[in-house]
């Protein structure tokens, strides 16, 4: 029987949820680092997926990675499970699900903010205060995206919601209000 990605993420979350926020973040960061290594380096992916390379060699590679990461044995156990089940390709999705569970558990708002230029420290602080208040969060994580095609303003993605305060959207609203 093949477990779904949600089932794997949920079971893993049950194992790590009693750790403190910093420990959970270290685990998620380590898993994300391995996911990036796997996805962005074809030689790593090919090595881990090659049928003629012994499992023991693959395990050694994962062990070597985990010895320099802060997530420790928790990370290693999940990576070895995914390796044995030929599911390393699902790691990025599992990490995304773990981040959602972490956010809910620790009352964190993860926002992706798109602007035409980087936010100033003052703007980040104001946005953090507003997001904490709006979403009743204890902490806010902001990921910035720069989009030079944006006319101005800001577009914020939070928990599947889009707060579009871009100049283009404002102009479209004005245009719609002027039409008979």
Q: What is the mean pLDDT of residues 108-116?
A: 91
**Joined tokens for residue 6:** 């949600």
pLDDT digits (tens, 9 = 90+) for 67-99: 988 878 999 999 999 999 999 999 999 999 999
Q: Does residue 115 or residue 176 have the better pLDDT?
A: 115
Statement: residue 1 has pLDDT above 80: no
Q: Does residue 107 or residue 70 have the better pLDDT?
A: 107
Taking the C-alpha atoms of residue 65 and residue 30, their distance in angstroms, rounded to an integer, is 9
Band (30; pLDDT cuts 50, 70, 90) = very high
Domains belonging to the chain, first-starting first, are 5-103 (1.10.520), 107-178 (3.40.30)
β-bridge partners, 87: none
Statement: residue 178 has pLDDT above 90: no
User: So what's the pLDDT on residue 2?
Assistant: 64
Contact 61, 80 (CB under 8 A): no
Q: What is the mean pLDDT of residues 35-64?
A: 96
Statement: residue 123 has pLDDT above 60: yes
Taking the C-alpha atoms of residue 19 and residue 30, their distance in angstroms, rounded to an integer, is 15
pLDDT digits (tens, 9 = 90+) for 132-156: 998 899 999 999 999 888 777 788 8
**Joined tokens for residue 1:** 């029987």
For the chain, give the DSSP string: -PPPHHHHHHHHHHHHTTS-HHHHHHHHHHHHHHHHHHHH-HHHHHHHH-TTS-HHHHHHHHHHHHHSSTTHHHHHHHHHHHHHTT-GGGHHHHHHHHHHHHHHHHTEEEEEEEESSPPPHHHHHHHHHHHHHHHT-SEEEEEEEE-TT--SEEEEEETTEEEEEEHHHHHHHHHHHH--
Band (100; pLDDT cuts 50, 70, 90) = very high
β-bridge partners, 109: 140
How does the average pLDDT of the chain come out, rounded?
Answer: 90
User: So what's the pLDDT on residue 78?
Assistant: 97
């Amino acid at each position: 029987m093949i477990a779904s990605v949600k089932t794997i993420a949920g079971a893993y979350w049950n194992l790590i949820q009693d750790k403190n926020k910093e420990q959970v973040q270290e685990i998620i960061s380590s898993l994300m680092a391995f996911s990036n290594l796997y996805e962005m380096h074809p030689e790593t992916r090919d090595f881990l997926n090659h049928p003629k390379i012994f499992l023991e060699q693959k395990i050694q590679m994962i062990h070597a990675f985990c010895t320099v990461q802060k997530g420790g044995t928790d990370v290693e156990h999940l990576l070895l499970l995914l390796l044995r089940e030929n599911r390393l390709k699902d790691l990025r999705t599992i990490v995304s699900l773990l981040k959602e569970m972490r956010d809910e558990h620790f009352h964190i708002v993860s926002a992706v903010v798109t602007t035409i230029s980087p936010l100033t420290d003052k703007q980040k602080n104001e946005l953090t205060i507003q997001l904490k208040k709006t979403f009743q969060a204890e902490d806010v994580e902001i990921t910035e995206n720069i989009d030079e095609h944006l006319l101005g303003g800001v577009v914020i993605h939070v928990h599947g919601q889009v707060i579009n305060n871009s100049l283009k959207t404002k102009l479209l609203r004005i245009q719609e209000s002027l039409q008979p």
